[in-house]
Every structure is written in C-alpha cells, then in structure tokens.
Amino acid sequence: MILFESAIKSQVTKLSYKRELQKFLQWTRIKESDGLLRLKDSQLQVMLEDYLFYLKSKVSPNSINTMFAPLQLFFEMNDREINFKKIKRMFPAKIKKSGYNAWQTEDIEKMLQETTAKRSLALVHFLASTGCRIGAIPDLKVKHISQIENCKAVLFYENTTVEYFGFLTPEASKAYDYYLEERRRDGESINEESPLFRAAYQIAIQKPKPLSYSSIKNIIHRLTWNTSKIRHKSSGKRYNIQLDHGFRKRFNTVLKLASGVNPNITEKLLGHKKGLDGTYLAPTREECFAEFAKAIPNLTIDDKERDNLKIRKLEGEKSELEKGRLEIEQMKKRIEELEFGAEARKGDYAKNMLRFLHEKNKSGEVISMLWHFLFERIGTEEEKRQFLKRAREATENGEKFDMSWFEEFKGLDLENPKGINNIA
C-alpha cells in the first residue's frame, strides 16, 4: 500500500484509487491488500477477468476503465505480472455520456436562494466565477488570493507544472469578503496560511481545517437537492448536469462565447494544457485578467449586479470620451500657442527683422516694427490669435489680405489718423 500510494500525486486521486481498491477487495472477500499479493499471478489474472465480467452487468461501460486503473497501478507497483492488455481488450464499448450539460445562470441563482450561510454563498460564487475543479479548493490558502482592480485573483496549484490564475467577479469577491469577515467576527485569527474555505467549527479559535472535497460536493448536492427543476435524470441513475463540472462547463461556455476573449487564454483560465500553448504560452496575471474582464457581465449571477456593471461601464466609456475630448482641446490650445501665441509672434518678428537686415530693406524693417508695435498693443490675446488664424486660412485659400479685417479686429477707422495716434 505504501508503494501504491507513493505513485499517486493528488490527494483527491489517492482517495478515489483507494476506494476502488477496497471495492475489489470486498468483491474477492479478501480482508487486506497484502492478501492479494499472496496469490499467484495466474490466480490474480482469472480473478481480475471475473471481476470485469461482474462489473459489466452492474456499472456503466464508461466507468470500467476508471475502476480498473487503480487495480493496474496497485499490481504494477508491487511487481506482479498481470496481462492488463488482454483485460482491456475485453472492456465494453463506451456509450454516450450523460451529464454533458452546464449549469445555467438561473440554476446558480436558485442555489443561492436556497441558503443564507455565508460559506455556501461564497463557495457557489467561487465555483461559478473561477470554473475551477472542486479538488483544487481544499489546498487553497488565504495567501493564494489577491486583489486586482475591483476583483480578486486566485492562484491555483502553486509551484506545480499546472499552476494558473483564476479570478473572482466583483460579485463573487464581495461574497467571499463577507464570508471572511464572518470568520473574523467569530474569533478566528486569519493569516496567509489559513484555509481559503474552512471546515465547519463550533469554536472559531480552534485550529482551522480546510473544507474537504467531499464536504464541498455535499454542500452543492444539498443546494441542488432542495431546489426543484435544476437537475434531471437523463438516463437510469445519471443526471444531466454534473455537480462539479457543471460550473466548469458554464465558465468555459461563457468565456468562449464572449466577444473578443482569446480562446487560448480561456484554456489557461481553466487550467488546461493545450498543445504547444500549454508549454510556451505564459501570460501574466494581468494579461489573463484582461481577457477574464471581458466576460464579467455574463459570469455575474444577480441581475441587479449585472445592471450595475453595465451602468459603470457606460459611465466609464462616457468618462473616457470626455477625457479624450479634453485632451483634444488641450492639444489644440498647445498647437495654437505654438503657432499664434506671444512667443510665436516674437519669433516671427525676429525672423522678419533678420531677413530685412540681411536684405538691407529699411522700409521692410520700419513696416515690420510698426506692425508689431501696433498689433501687440490692441485687442485681447484671443482676438490676436483669431485674426492670425483668419489671415493664414485666407493665404492657404489664395485670398488677398484685406485691411478691413484689421479694422474689424479692433473697430479701427484707418482713415482717421486720430485713432492710430490714440493707440500710440
């Protein structure tokens, strides 16, 4: 048994394999696993073949391989020569599986209506928002959850080859915060090593134990059992929706139907290793969240919360448009300042004076000096800019300069010399 268990990495898989081995022992009426190893290989071969024929009449053909995998591992780890290749050739053909359906948003809403327990509410939201495997939850600790914008990031399978990030919607984040706050109020001293979801307790100050795989399944089972018209038996004893994978299938469906979500990132968010992307595609937490954020409205359960998200999105888009408009206005002002502002006019005046000096054009120097003197002493800064813009547009359109523009500029009458004298 030590060799057998050492070959299994996952705690959940270990429990499942031990359970299947125990079923085989009960069928053989052998009390302990060591009793199997006292039999000859030929005896074990016949026994396993008989067990296969027994299972064919009792369980679904799709379950046979799952039930024999632990047995094969047990005998291989104990160096027994069993012809499993022959046994597998006798496996029945698989049939179409039931349980392919996903939970719908309405189903999850009904589950949430069945309980007021903070832990159950947080757990349902957690599964719906991350689409994680139930078996990943018992190993999670508080240190594996972090804030990202108005959501939370969850690090699954830390320091393993299948490490990946999942995320909680704003709605799911609030549900988890309420649950954590309840634990604190009960007296639990929560730190980074505290379990993300804690097993039931009478006194919170006791050392917390993580919520187990079986307990999580029981919680979901109770919520669906109490609620009518959620799960339906499709054939025999099988249900049309799996308790755990119903959440994963919904998550997968929502993200892959959401507009603009990268399907390769969706695979990462499900913890899948698909082709070369499983090895070479290594998006950051922020890059994964950017894709997840596109599906937040459709992952959200409550209609009111979804409407609030839409309102905030519209407000954000309006704010961005307003911000863009202000930036354009500021850019226009900067361009006008560079082209028609006081410093620009001084620069143009200096260039003209240097040009006239170089050409020894005395009349040009005098006219330029008088023009600059008069222009800078009349009108507001805005009026000066508008006049220069009008003059430039006229030049670009091939129009001739009209002195009436200058008269309009400050209401001058150039035929009345007193007007100019007064300005001087």
Using one digit for the tens of pLDDT, what is the confidence trace for 247-296?
Answer: 999 999 999 888 889 988 999 999 887 655 556 678 899 999 999 999 99
Boundaries of every domain in the chain: 2-89, 105-301, 338-423
Name the CA radius of gyration of the chain, rounded.
38
In single-letter form, the type of residue at position 102 comes to A
> ∠ CA(125), CA(130), CA(133), 5° rounding?
100
Q: What is the pLDDT of residue 410?
A: 53
Residues in a beta bridge with 198: 210
Task: Using CB atoms within 10 Å of the CB of residue 141, give its burial: 0 to 12 exposed, 13 to 18 middle, 19+ buried.
Answer: middle
Q: Across residues 327-336, what is the average pLDDT?
A: 80
Percent of residues, the chain, with pLDDT higher than 90 = 48
Residues in a beta bridge with 164: 156
Q: What is the pLDDT of residue 230?
A: 60
Q: What is the pLDDT of residue 65?
A: 93
Residue pLDDT, tens place only, 209-226: 999 999 999 999 888 876
How far is C-alpha 81 from the geometric centre of its chain's CA atoms?
A: 49
Question: CATH fold of 105-301, please?
Answer: hpI Integrase; Chain A (1.10.443)
Q: pTM of this prediction?
A: 0.62
Q: What is the pLDDT of residue 3?
A: 93
Cα–Cα distance between 271 and 98 in angstroms, integer? 23
The pLDDT mean for the chain works out to 84
Least-confidence region, from 167-176, 339-348, 414-423:
414-423
